[in-house]
Amino acid sequence: MRISEDAQRRVHTAAAELGYRPNQTARSLRTHVTRTIGLISDTIATTQFAGEVIHGALDTALEHGYLLLVAETSGDPGIEKKLVDEMLDRQVDAVIYALMYTKPGQPPDALSSLPVVLLNGTEDCFDGPRVLPDEYSAGRAAARALVDAGHAEAIYSLGGRHLTSEAPNGVFAGRQRMAGVDEVLAEVGTAIAGSYECAWEPEHGYAGTLSLLDDGHRPKALVCLNDRLALGAYQALRDRGLRVPVDVSVVSFDDSDLASWLRPALTSVALPHYELGKTAVSTLLDGNRQRRLVTVPMPLRSRDSIQPPRVP
């Protein structure tokens, strides 16, 4: 100790008073760490998804002194390349490569030099951590909610696995959710009475519900594969004079704003956007770059759209 404690303290107070902060740029040049994480997404706009993901990611990043460079490719490989280059130029420490919804897709090779976590990507050839919502358990939770209320018969699915001409195998979330639903129903000795396969948009929910009804089906419960489908279902049921939940119980997925806006308020299994963002960052920061799957629970949000089936 060549300088006195007093002197040291005086320097520190002076620094604090002057508001001295080390220059991060200079520090980065020397150390090659920028304390900045890139968040590259295919689409941040269309859905409410992104906002919460960013929020969760940012909160966790900030706790560790990191900031987020956020960008969106719009699915355009040209933009993606430019974005990746710009981020590399700025020497981001790591990247979250996020997809708007759970589907195949993986980060470009240019990113292979740094830590990357794949958010929402089902591509299992990606050689690093992937974080995904636990869609299978979500399906189980939805079915459980119905079963626990006493439902067993005439349970229909609206949306199903999202089987359409463009996606003949459906979508990942659909397959997983339906697998969970089917399993729980099987466990209590029953099964889905019918499934209307379609794209997960309100108009198909409306059309699907009408088509079910007009084909003579009499659903006592509807598993809507997302809230937008449930919106369509509500409209159709009302048009046919059926009441939710008195005549038909409804359970759904996503827990978007819609779920709480609808009347009766919709019971829905939440897509945990915020947690997904948090988990992506903490997975990135835990130092383990090994290939693995990190799964985030999807909690059931119980509201007013489920009640025990009426005995005829």
Partner DNA sequence: GTGAAAGCGCTAACAC
Partner DNA sequence: GTGTTAGCGCTTTCAC
Interface positions, 71-90, toward a second copy (CB under 8 A)? 71-72, 79, 82-83, 85-90
- Binder of a second copy out of 42, 60, 70, 269 (CB under 8 A): 70
- Please choose, from the candidates 169, 275, 280, 184, the residue with its C-alpha nearest in 3D space to the C-alpha of residue 223: 184
Residue carrying structure tokens 């729980």: 184
Interface positions, 272-311, toward a second copy (CB under 8 A)? 274
Q: Where are the alpha helices (DSSP H) in 76-148?
A: 77-89, 135-148
Interface positions, 160-189, toward a second copy (CB under 8 A)? none
42 binds a second copy per the rule CB under 8 A: no
36 binds a second copy per the rule CB under 8 A: yes
In the complex, the smallest distance separating the C-beta of residue 85 from DNA, rounded to whole angstroms, is: 13
**55 half-sphere exposure, CB direction, 13 A CA radius:** 9
64 vs 243 by CB, closer to DNA: 64
198 binds a second copy per the rule CB under 8 A: no
List Cβ neighbours of 249 (8 Å cut-off, separation of 6 or more).
146, 149, 151, 220, 221, 222, 305, 306, 307, 309
C-alpha 191/C-alpha 147 separation (Å) is 11
86 vs 183 by CB, closer to a second copy: 86
Helix, strand, or coil here: 3? coil
- Binder of a second copy out of 8, 91, 112, 169 (CB under 8 A): 91
Q: In b/e form, how buried is each residue of 264-302, taking b as 16+ CB within 10 angstroms?
A: bebbbbbbbbbbbbbbbbbbbbeeebeeeebebebbbbe
DSSP state of 288: -
The entry of DNA, a second copy, none that residue 31 binds, CB within 5 to 8 Å by partner kind: DNA
Interface positions, 124-163, toward a second copy (CB under 8 A)? none
C-alpha 5/C-alpha 8 separation (Å) is 5
Residues that bind DNA in the complex, under the rule CB under 7 A: 1-3, 21-23, 26-27, 29-31
56 vs 174 by CB, closer to a second copy: 56
Q: Which residues bind a second copy (CB under 8 A)?
A: 21-26, 28-29, 34, 36, 44-48, 50-52, 54-55, 58, 62, 65, 67-72, 79, 82-83, 85-91, 202, 206, 228, 231, 235, 238, 258, 261, 263, 274
